[in-house]
Structure 1
Amino acid sequence: MRVVTWSRDKLLSGAFLVCAFGTGVSFPLFKAPTNIFFYTLIVLALFDKAIRSQLSATLQNRTVQVGFLLVGLFLIGLAYSPVSFEYSFRVFLKYLRFELPIVLIPFFSRERHVRAFFYGLAASIFLMLFTLFGNWHPQVINPIYASFIWATFFSICLVLFLNGNNWVLIPMAAIGYTLLFQIQQRTGLIILEANVVCITAIYAFFRREWRRPVIVCVLFLGVPFVMQKKVPAADIIKREVADIIQKKPQLNSWGYRLEFIKNGVKLWKEAPVFGHGTGSYATLSRNHNYPYIRDTDEPNPHNEYIHIIVELGLVGLLTFLLWQATLFVGFGQRTFESKLMLCAFMISLMMGLFSDSMFFLNSTRDFIFAMVAVFQTPFLSGKTVK
């Protein structure tokens, strides 16, 4: 009779896999379980010798270092913020999440951890699509707000298809995207369209191969206009564009976002260099009695760049752009396949932050979690090169 022994390392490894899978399943759907799994991962990492030994190397990561600088600016902003210290400190605590890669980069350097995380993410996405057709609705963190994560998932399917023979991935991803577009009836999902166009263009240009990119573009760009549910996708886009042309911003979210930008620029001009201080955007917007905020009492700027430049000025915005630039620097150490995936994700990141603010989204932590996972996917995108 075989006796199964459970060593400390095996138990720790099993706990890591369970938490990685559980986090992938829960974060697009359930906020409370996400927090439980996420912080359990951090605690478990403290007991893993290999991960602890990698922390010192992680501190040399430029993205982490610039993240420290950005967090430091928010800390300084507490001193001159016009709002209460309690509220501004809560804003500061949220931006501490820029330093999550300190723990997560070593964790996701292991293939099995990343694999479990993305299996959980895939299961969550299909569960979300399934529940949209039924009467049971989980405590959903708005799927549109999690567009970064959806874009990441579809981009991975795209990269795998472009570099392999798994033809079933693209029809599955295209159908899933189409269902999202039809059910949500939101033009925000056009971010995914931009990802598809950019990544296929990069692939076709460098590889001089056009068959797969053409298939991808036909499926992703054509299927939503063929399949119809409540409102055709083409009509959704035409309606939004027509409202903007006719100067009816009150009828669509794009118009609201243009107003947020104009109002944010006015606030920035009052303190252009160092901004108004941490947590000041919401209070200043209410004090200026801007129409949308007055009517809805919603202080979300729907634009991370505007949010940071109002609170930290040009100094903060340049630091934030530098943080993004450090992500691009690492591309030179990756294989071609990995660069495709990273380019697609960065396009989603930069475009998405023009339409939503990281601070005001419940998925801030989850977005950074997914970002780190994408940067550490050797089983999907090939090993790094010297």
Structure 2
Amino acid sequence: MMTWHQWQQRFDLAARGMAVFAAFSVPMPTAWLTVAMGLLLIFWLLGGGYSNKWRRMRENPLTRWSLLLLLAFALGLLYSSAGMDEALDKSGKYLKLFYIPLLISLLDSRLWQKRAANGFLLAMLLTLVASWGMYADLIPQATKLFPNTVFRGRIAQNFFMAFTAYLLFDRFMRDSSRWRWLWGLLLGLALINVLLLVGGRTGQLVLLVLILLAAVQYLNWRGLLAGGLVIVLISLLSYQFSENFSSRVDLTLQRLDAFSEESRDRELVGNRLEMYGNSLELIGHHLLVGTGSGSFSVEYAELVRQKGLELLSDNPHNEYLNITVQLGLVGLLLFLLLLYNHWRHSAQVDPCFRGSSQALVVAMTVGCLFNSFLMDRGEGSFYVVLTAVYLAGLSHARLREREG
């Protein structure tokens, strides 16, 4: 008969398995990640070893910044202009920030980090194959509205696939075995998938920025010219041969031109540009600490009523504006510090995760300009889970230093 200590060891192993499954579940249906994190928390509690788990969390700088931002949302509930039910519902979407320290406490070795990282990549490769299968009419389309999307919407899938293209390029550059050609083939399929098969502008822009990042990483600052040329070439070819890509570019330019001319026609200006302007107006009224957690939709509805507009929104499709409306410059600063420290400490992690960690924070930084990605369930979970996966090694290194 097993002792309680032996049961705890099994629960602890199960919790680590759930961490790997959580990384795999990020691009899968939402319920998968919900189940994974629920079981992970149960096994985490049953697994014991809390002092060691706390030490790993404490020694990782990303724990501090993720919890500080989460604390700001908790304090924002005290003065939110929204009702408590709505404030809890909206701000509760940021509870996923707790995934960062929770996963860091479990991924206590390079082996478990690699298992989780490979879990995410495997899920994305399955997504890539399924998406191409839909394009070739070998698999039924999941939705006619957004062709070739598998488990997520076009924005999320294209965003994830753009990041996956970077992961495949990184594997191609670091792998010297006979399987290197396979990474190159998969990279080509991922690039075409993002640019031609799935119409998500955020993912397409993130892909171009990550190409520039990869060029700088592998060619130093000389890579700026090479990366810039590749971006121009890819953009021109995509514009020429993809109606999907060219129509999105034309629409964006048309809306920017209408906005610069202060057009009153929302069909020309576009909903997002109108929301950006209104959000900046809300920020100007409560600059320092905002109007409280979960208050965006309430404040925006009141502004729309005062200005006689029609379009309501529960987020401005820009995470920087979204957080600043709720928590003011204090909240914005904490979010920027989270991203900054992610970038800064990426240089200190294991070389096999270094490039991926830098690409992750760059992708998130760019994506949040056009979407409220930290608040969004899929994209926000993508960021916090992979942040823990790539940066958990910081705890290992610091604990080894302390133990001499």
Deviation of 1:299 after TM superposition, in Å, equals: 1.9
Letter in 1 for 2:77: L
Give the aligned partner of residue 126 of structure 1: 129
Deviation of 1:215 after TM superposition, in Å, equals: 11
Letter in 2 for 1:184: V
Deviation of 1:257 after TM superposition, in Å, equals: 2.8
Letter in 1 for 2:175: G
CA contact (8 A) 1:174 1:219 kept: no
Whether 1:177 and 2:191 are equivalent positions in the alignment is: yes
Give the aligned partner of residue 112 of structure 1: 115
Return 75-84 or 355-364, whichever deviates more: 355-364
Specify which of 280, 283, 299 is matched with residue 268 of structure 1. Answer: 283
Give the aligned partner of residue 141 of structure 1: 152
**2: distance between equivalents of 1:283 and 1:321?**
25
Letter in 2 for 1:150: M
CA contact (8 A) 1:73 1:316 kept: yes
Letter in 1 for 2:197: I
**1: distance between equivalents of 2:171 and 2:27?**
23
Alignment deviations for residues 294-343 of structure 1 (CA, whole Å, 9 cap, x no partner): 64543221011101111111111111111212212313423566443332
CA contact (8 A) 1:196 1:217 kept: yes
CA contact (8 A) 1:26 1:33 kept: yes
Give the aligned partner of residue 164 of structure 2: 153
Distance change (3 Å), C-alpha of 1:299 and 1:113: closer
**2: distance between equivalents of 1:377 and 1:218?**
37
Give the aligned partner of residue 343 of structure 2: 328
What is the 5 A alignment of 1:176-325? Answer: 176-188=190-202, 189-205=204-220, 224-225=238-239, 228=242, 231=243, 233-247=245-259, 250-251=266-267, 255-289=270-304, 295=310, 297-325=312-340
Deviation of 1:141 after TM superposition, in Å, equals: 3.2
Letter in 2 for 1:237: V
**1: distance between equivalents of 2:183 and 2:227?**
14
Deviation of 1:44 after TM superposition, in Å, equals: 2.4
CA contact (8 A) 1:300 1:360 kept: no
**1: distance between equivalents of 2:131 and 2:306?**
35
Query: What is the SS of the residue equivalent to 2:371?
Result: coil
Give the aligned partner of residue 88 of structure 2: 89
**1: distance between equivalents of 2:197 and 2:159?**
18
Superposed CA RMSD in Å reads 3.8
**2: distance between equivalents of 1:336 and 1:200?**
17
Whether 1:372 and 2:384 are equivalent positions in the alignment is: no
Letter in 2 for 1:355: F
CA contact (8 A) 2:24 2:116 kept: no
CA contact (8 A) 2:127 2:151 kept: no
**1: distance between equivalents of 2:186 and 2:306?**
43
Whether 1:354 and 2:353 are equivalent positions in the alignment is: no
Distance change (3 Å), C-alpha of 1:334 and 1:67: closer
Alignment deviations for residues 251-286 of structure 1 (CA, whole Å, 9 cap, x no partner): 57x843332221111101111111111111111111
Deviation of 1:223 after TM superposition, in Å, equals: 5.9
CA contact (8 A) 1:83 1:279 kept: yes
CA contact (8 A) 1:19 1:41 kept: yes
Deviation of 1:104 after TM superposition, in Å, equals: 0.8
Deviation of 1:41 after TM superposition, in Å, equals: 2.2
Return 133-142 or 327-336, whichever deviates more: 133-142
Deviation of 1:361 after TM superposition, in Å, equals: 1.7
**1: distance between equivalents of 2:393 and 2:132?**
25
**2: distance between equivalents of 1:130 and 1:55?**
45
Deviation of 1:102 after TM superposition, in Å, equals: 1.4
Specify which of 357, 363, 374 is matched with residue 342 of structure 1. Answer: 357
**2: distance between equivalents of 1:325 and 1:213?**
23
Letter in 1 for 2:297: A
CA contact (8 A) 1:170 1:216 kept: no
**2: distance between equivalents of 1:368 and 1:30?**
17
Gaps of 5+ in 1: 1-6, 379-384
Whether 1:164 and 2:175 are equivalent positions in the alignment is: yes
Return 238-247 or 272-281, whichever deviates more: 238-247
CA contact (8 A) 2:93 2:377 kept: no
**2: distance between equivalents of 1:293 and 1:11?**
61
CA contact (8 A) 2:8 2:46 kept: no
Letter in 2 for 1:190: L
**2: distance between equivalents of 1:73 and 1:21?**
29
Deviation of 1:348 after TM superposition, in Å, equals: 0.7
Alignment deviations for residues 176-212 of structure 1 (CA, whole Å, 9 cap, x no partner): 2322333333322221111112221332126x789x9
How many residues align? The count is 370
Give the aligned partner of residue 53 of structure 1: 52
Letter in 1 for 2:211: V
Query: What is the SS of the residue equivalent to 1:276?
Result: coil
Letter in 2 for 1:174: G
TM-score, normalised relative to structure 1: 0.80
TM-score, normalised relative to structure 2: 0.77
